[in-house]
Structure 1
Amino acid sequence: MTLRQVVEEIEASTGLRAYVHAQEFDGGEVGVRPDDSVVAASVFKVPVLVEACRQMAAGELDATRMIELAPEDFPVMGSTGIAAFVDPVSISLRDLCLSMMSVSDNRATDVVMDAVGLDRINEMLRGLGLTRTVLEGDCAALFATISDDLGMGTGTEFDLLARGEEALLGARALDAERTNRTTPRETSQLLGRIWTEDGIAPEACAEARRILRLQVWPHRLRSGFPDDEILVSGKTGTLPFVRNEAAVVEYPDGARYAVSVFLRTPSPATVSPRFDRAIGEIAAAAVAELRSA
């Protein structure tokens, strides 16, 4: 089946809506709604990583500088990495970038963004021609909009589903015009630039590739490529009603593909293996179509 046929079948059986783009670095591209604006969720951490690696490669930031964090520093909702720590921590900027990407550590993300600068990230994106990828704020700012929109106070921990699905769907964090956003095509293009070192310093690209290859979760896009010889390097993104992953898929024959899959799901559930598998199925169909061409 073609990518579009696979997407239509999955959408009909699950009620989700998919936004997809895939490109072979030295060949063609395929997509379904590839230029629609989508909620980035934690996929926004990819441009954060790129700008951090650019500044470290240029000597503007010291990758080995140890950052001391007390429990009250950079509080943010999150259950992975140092976001879940309750004791003081000392960690290098480079390893903060690793935690940000490998386990989607929200607190590490906010520390890195504080060092890098939100304006510098958006300036970098515009310089690369990715004008529809825009970051409005860090993780704490994103959750603050949810808290504000749902009238839930300012604590770092709250039940996102407590106010009901209808109220949640009106939150800015789930509106692709009012939150951190991108398009499937631009996300694939950014990944492609990292792998081909197009417009980004080679040293920065090498470090970004190293970190992206260390993601720990194989249950989404990776599930479509169950072969140890196929390398998948990516970043997930999750919010209620939002389930994403963007990755580079590298085959033993040397072919490389950037694949971006963004889902709007009919359920706000954070645990949903069917939607996770859908990302893998869609990604596999996109790459299969490119390889057959």
Structure 2
Amino acid sequence: MNTEALLARLRDELAEGGLRGSFLVRDLGSGREIGIEPDLEFATASLVKVPLVAVTQDRIRRGELDGAQQVEVQPGRAENAGPTGLARFRHPARVALDDLMYLASAISDSAAADALFALTSPAEVARTVREWGITGISVRHSLSELNDTPLERFDATEAHLAHSLAIGAVTEGRGHPVRQLDVSRASSGSARAFADLLTALWTPSKIDPDTSARVRQLMGENLLRQRLAPDFASDSAKWSSKTGTLVNLRHEIGVVEHSDGQAFAVAALTESRVPAAIQPEAEILMARVARALRDHLRARG
């Protein structure tokens, strides 16, 4: 199948499944790429933890921070199924910076990420990423704000109403009355921007090699593997990634490294038009689209 026919088929599949997405797959060896609306911006939710961890690690490398430094984290008051990790602790805990980075990456622990943001502000993370030559990724707020939207006011039995509000209120310019979903006010980015970040972490770039190596290791230890991992991880391929989820947004970025030496950056950012909180079929569809793009690029390479 030629490229245009494939892209038309995949766009139809996304539309039928109630998804709109920004997808990009890039061959890290040749630089060749294929995508669907790769420059479409989304609020990025927990994807922001990748630049946060990268900048934190670089500050440790430069001696500005100490990875062994203990940070006291107060117990959270999580009352819903969203937060994981430290937010569910009942007692104060002292955690080293190195371990906070692991928790933020491996289980998407937002309380751990906010402990890191307390030491390196969103503005500093954004500035450093720009200095690395990566544009298109904004970092505007802490992770705690993601659990403090008007949508949290709905009872669990009314999740469909929260999703209907999120779906129906978005504007053509990607604005939204809920600031965490508004690309001009929330941390945001596109598939291309995050593919650029992955490229900089996996190939020689302005990012220090030791910093990149640590971030690759952390992304390889990600335990949230229900989304794209089933279509990319295998005995002959390593999948390193980070997910991001907020209301009707489901994202994942990662790199698949094949045993033959080929490696591909994969970025899939999506929003659903289906008013339901649990949508395993959306996870399956976005993975199938990303896999089809990778397969096409790999076959033509």
| TM-score, scaled relative to structure 1 | 0.89
Question: Does the CA-based 8 Å contact 1:197-1:205 persist in structure 2?
Answer: no
Q: Deviations over 1:250-281 (max 9, x none)?
A: 00001111100011101353321111112221
Structure 1 residue corresponding to 2:278, chosen from 271, 276, 281: 271
The share of aligned pairs that are identical, in percent, is: 28
Equivalent residue for 1:244? 251
Q: How far off is 1:166 after superposition? A: 4.7
Distance in structure 2 (CA, Å) of the matches to 1:286 and 1:91: 40
| Count of residues in Structure 1 that have an aligned counterpart in Structure 2 | 285
Structure 1 residue corresponding to 2:289, chosen from 273, 282, 292: 282
Distance in structure 2 (CA, Å) of the matches to 1:44 and 1:76: 23
Equivalent residue for 1:20? 23
Q: Deviations over 1:27-76 (max 9, x none)?
A: 1011111111112111111111111111111111101112122326x989
Distance in structure 1 (CA, Å) of the matches to 2:155 and 2:213: 38
Distance in structure 1 (CA, Å) of the matches to 2:78 and 2:61: 28
1:101-250 to structure 2, matched below 5 A, reads: 101-144=105-148, 146-147=149-150, 152=153, 161=159, 164-168=162-166, 169=169, 170-250=177-257
Structure 1 residue corresponding to 2:263, chosen from 256, 260, 263: 256
Distance in structure 1 (CA, Å) of the matches to 2:162 and 2:85: 29
What is the identity, as a one-letter code, of the residue corresponding to 1:23? R
Question: Does the CA-based 8 Å contact 1:7-1:18 persist in structure 2?
Answer: no
SS of the aligned residue for 1:129 comes to: coil
Specify every segment of 5 or more residues in structure 2 that has no aligned partner in the other structure, as ranges: 170-176
SS of the aligned residue for 2:71 comes to: strand
Equivalent residue for 1:59? 63
Matched, 1:33 2:37: yes
Distance in structure 2 (CA, Å) of the matches to 1:162 and 1:267: 9
Q: Deviations over 1:73-129 (max 9, x none)?
A: x98984311121111212110110111011111100100111122221011122133
SS of the aligned residue for 1:244 comes to: strand
Question: Does the CA-based 8 Å contact 1:24-1:257 persist in structure 2?
Answer: yes
**Stretch deviating more after TM superposition (221-230 or 197-206):** 221-230
Specify every segment of 5 or more residues in structure 1 that has no aligned partner in the other structure, as ranges: none
Q: How far off is 1:178 after superposition? A: 2.1
**Stretch deviating more after TM superposition (159-168 or 6-15):** 159-168
Question: Does the CA-based 8 Å contact 1:241-1:266 persist in structure 2?
Answer: yes
Q: How far off is 1:162 after superposition? A: 8.1
What is the identity, as a one-letter code, of the residue corresponding to 2:122? L
